[in-house]
Amino acid sequence: MQKILAEYGLAVSRETLDRLTQFAELFIKWSKSINLIAPSTQDQLWTRHVADSLQLRNIIDRPGRWIDLGSGGGFPGIITAILLAEHGQGWVDLVESNNKKASFLRMALAETAARGTVHPVRIEDAASKLPAPDFISARALAELDLLFDHVQPWASANPKLQLVFHKGRDYQAEVDKARGRWDFDLLKHPSVVEADSVILEITSLTRRV
């Protein structure tokens, strides 16, 4: 698996690879009973999901406090928490309202000794329960305009907040729509895993009056 990751420029330490392998084995086991990802993509676990999540490290390579919205099967939240374990610093608050998926995420954190906590709450309620982080991630969750509604309370509390959202080929339409209600600075990072996909890095988010 190290060779697969290296092909995308995502080489990791032996310790981190061991943790990622533990996670992948647990993921496959749990996927037999609950739907963590689309079954059609399960044979691409290391490329389409693990590597896709790991590439956030190319954008933000320092420890800090993260919130991962709609963590689902653990992408990118668990992967980020595993990377932070190597630093021994930073933390990920994983927000997942589905109780079965939340149970899986808790087990994954425990098995891999990753740095994170699972919060089985609705995304709409999370801002009242979790303090403003340094970074927020979300993958295949919602349109940009709606994501901004979710994160706005944290953005107001931390003007330096960085958002990193995985988006597919139609991302520009989402950006254009969001510009109607929001002001923000944007950097587009081409995905190293999927052609036509990007990671949007967003800062200085404010709602237009």
The per-residue pLDDT for range 36-94, each reduced to its tens digit, is 877 766 678 888 899 999 999 999 989 999 999 999 999 999 999 999 999 899 999 99
Per-residue model confidence (pLDDT) at position 40? 61
- Orientation angle between helical segments 14-31 and 77-87, nearest 10 degrees: 150
Token pair of 186 as six digits: 């944007």
pLDDT of 7 strictly over 90: no
- Residue 32's pLDDT is 86
C-alpha–C-alpha distance, residues 110 and 199, integer Å: 28
Please report the pLDDT score of residue 4 as a whole number.
Answer: 77
Please count the structural domains in the chain: 1
Contacts 24+ apart (CB under 8 A), 182-186: 182/145, 182/148, 182/206, 182/207, 182/208, 183/207, 183/208, 184/148
pLDDT band for position 124 (cuts 50, 70, 90): very high
Q: Which domain holds residue 148?
A: 2-207
Q: What percent of the chain has pLDDT over 70?
A: 98
Helix H segments across 44-197?
52-54, 77-87, 99-112, 123-126, 144-157, 171-178
pLDDT at 1 over 90: no
| CATH value at residue 114 | 3.40.50.150
| 25-37 pLDDT per residue, tens | 999 999 888 988 7
Place of tokens 């907040």: 161
pLDDT in tens, 153-203: 999 999 999 999 999 999 999 999 999 999 999 999 999 998 899 999 999
Render pLDDT for 85-98 as a digit per residue (tens, 0 to 9): 998 999 999 999 99
Instruction: Give the model's pLDDT for residue 29.
Output: 92
